[in-house]
Structure 1
């Protein structure tokens, strides 16, 4: 059951949140995340008089979990809002009254701290949305890709496109408090920067904000978490920031532990092929570039010549062994196609398709299984093709003393001389 435990005084209601009572008051507006609603009528898995917490207002919704534990949108504007009363918290819910607001967590016996950046391999993310096959409030380890394994055991990376639905935590590895000095220079991948003159923020950041650089392209740096309408790539100009150089030796070592970011010329493996119909799971590709309008859109070419573009989180760096195996397979396939083309050209010279035989052709026998000729035709013998059975494409093999049991399929002999080239079958001029 997901109905809330409430105490109703004279006008407002008291709701238990994180072990403490929080006061809510009735308001006349659309419900939004953090509000609670009171059901006025019974409906499927909703009890009249019960209170429910609005867990998501994404895309203008007003969703709550009903008594069956399902996401219910009846309180939405396009649902049945008249069936609900809306209540808002009289005072904001503080960290003392909400366990979810902690900046540090424990996961698999290790401590993690909340960070304001995109998720990387080795991080932990907390899902704060009901839109995925993931538990609301659940913690998930970020693996190579980067991505996570959801509750149905599928690899996914929704935090790349919907970072607002996830809280990112990084492992606490340095016990001492890091100290930094501000340096005016170009930042490198993994370095922290501080905004000192925000001008192209598109509402995503302001002076004083600190970020970790995710991508560097030439003279430009990109931070995934500041992607916004008008700046979808997360570009930050060099005039807007200073680099925060750590003066603590232990902190200096942290950037080297960051996962490798793919650059032009690198080889990568496809771990999620859903971004392009031409991609195949496990493809080994060479990074050929990045889209000018979005630095996270990676352009790739496979070892067998296919080209496509997908977001970088759908790839992981390929090992030398994987690249070598893919190149060997591509070379073998190229050789097969070359031999096939040569065979096609050879048959085309006599105006035939590959494997097209005619009565009167001279052939070499390569397989005598299926023949019943008493040993009168042996492997390697040169014989003439006789009548053809149009029902199955088999030919009679003509040889001295053979009158029956000599039907053979075209897989059992090779062409030596086509009938059109035999002098003994051509009429005198």
Structure 2
């Protein structure tokens, strides 16, 4: 191949739209070389660029000179330039609205042990069922999880069919479960319950942390409680022992 006409921006050259970058290594087939040895035969131009067509058995790069003949180059007679890989041309396709919405929909970031609420009928789980994630990403495609319900049923559920419960919701569920064990709704106090005072409500006859008995429940967390003088005062309380579990009352009844 005859001498190539190139554009030279610093350490890169361009040949027929293809960029080449200068590298510090031995020449390879497909590279181009710049002649740097000023002592060259007439059929090779000093400072010219030539394509390496092959590497001969002695390891010398072979080029075609100005006469179209193949000749070899000594290793100190040239600089090496390799092809610069062009970025791949992006491929585009038309995306339907539904496909775009599905692809950009936020995916639940769930882990094993997380509790989620079913928000769409799924595998015999009704809406509102609370389940625990046992396998966050079934199949590794980010669309389906495996979960187990409180009664031990295990099913798959799509990401768009459940929502991750917040810390506040989890605390509320735990509180409801605790009260459900004694057959009551949350903060459903009864006369005779033993409770701990959390707020004295200004009553001088009460102190924070004191254990007292509920006198008049009113559906709130601030019922009337008995005080030492036989009277009652309002107080903010938490349940310690339900009246049904008080051994002292059971002995009295016996």
- TM normalised by structure 1 equals 0.25
**TM-score w.r.t. structure 2 length?**
0.38
Which entry has the higher C-alpha Rg, 1 or 2?
2
Highest relative contact order (Cα 8 Å, sep 6+), 1 or 2?
2
